[in-house]
Amino acid sequence: MASSSNPLIIITIVVFLLINLTQVIGVENILLEEGYTVTTIIDGDKLSVNPYAVISLYGSSSSDLVILDSVKSTFYTVSFSDSQVGELKKLAGNTNGAAGYKDGDLGSAEFNKPKNFAVDKKNNIYIADKGNHVIRKISKTGVTTIAGGNIRKTGKADGPAQNASFSDDFELAFDSQRCALLISDHGNRLIRQLDLKAEDCADTSSGSVLGSTIAWSIGVVVTCLIGFVLGFAVRPYVLPYTGSFRPTSGQHDMEALPNQSGETSSDLLLRQQKRNC
């Protein structure tokens, strides 16, 4: 009786040890980093919206989100005040939820099942309107087509944006440094770039422009001060060498060599600093 149950116990122990061993060896290399929290901020079922993609708008005062309901080809905005979800407002899209292609004012514009969009620093919204094979733009004044408008079918032509073509499957990302939309054109296996207008990449909030001006001024003053301090500090160490020590050709010390007017470069540095400040 006892001997028949022994193999089972041994197998159980071996399996148990193996499981523990794999964990110790780290075959499953999973690192659980703590300190993050997940919260539901919008319940699509409660608001009768089917959120497919979401992006927050730029700007310190605005905590608005743009939500795309791909099934209905419609964009919504939601504002938050004191982290309370505000009203869901239709931004642009078809009233009956059918796909279409209409530019113009926000109320009557139509899209064809877009699944992805990007937002620039002016809060213009760029839409990968896959169904219409074009790139659309929602600005304050309405909806326009900015790329593919002359072609409106799949392809991979580069060039003037209205004559460009895209695959059935592409996504957009806004790149403020390039001032461009980056297009990951999955269907063509290409990364493409659509250059935007410089005004769309400028920081809109006046506060940050003021902030950067102040930062720039402080930068100039600090640089000038450092320049003076360095100039004075370096002077006594540089000057004594000019007469008594002739550097060999292998180790030319440019700082120590007087120029034609008998002035060392640290004097020159000081003079330039005075002129700059």
Question: Residue of minimal CB distance from ligand NAG?
Answer: 163
Greatest distance between any 2 Cα atoms in the chain? 110
Establish if 7 lies at the interface with ligand NAG (CB under 6 A).
no
Choose the binding region for ligand NAG from 159-167, 171-179, 251-259, 262-270 (rule: CB under 6 A). 159-167
Cβ proximity to ligand NAG, 159 vs 236, nearer residue: 159
Nearest residue to 237 via CA among 253, 218, 256, 260 = 256
Burial 230-263, CB ≥16 within 10 A → b, else e = ebeebeeebeeeeeeeeeeeeeeeeebeeeeeee
Binding string, residues 125-154; x marks residues near ligand NAG by CB under 6 A: -------------------------x----
Tell me the angle at which helices 265-276 and 206-244 cross, rounded to the nearest 10 degrees. 160
* Residue of the chain from 160, 236, 243, 250 that contacts ligand NAG (CB under 6 A): 160
CA dihedral 59, 62, 63, 66 (to 10 degrees): -90
- For residue 121 the two structure tokens come to 């620093």
Choose the binding region for ligand NAG from 86-94, 156-164, 210-218, 236-244 (rule: CB under 6 A). 156-164
Cβ proximity to ligand NAG, 35 vs 159, nearer residue: 159
Minimum Å gap between C-beta 111 and ligand NAG is 22
Establish if 108 lies at the interface with ligand NAG (CB under 6 A).
no
Nearest residue to 135 via CA among 170, 91, 177, 97 = 170
Establish if 156 lies at the interface with ligand NAG (CB under 6 A).
no
* Residue of the chain from 79, 139, 163, 204 that contacts ligand NAG (CB under 6 A): 163
Contact 116, 171 (CB under 8 A): yes
Task: Enter the DSSP assignment of 105.
Answer: S
User: For binding to ligand NAG (CB under 6 A), which residues are involved?
Assistant: 150, 159-160, 163
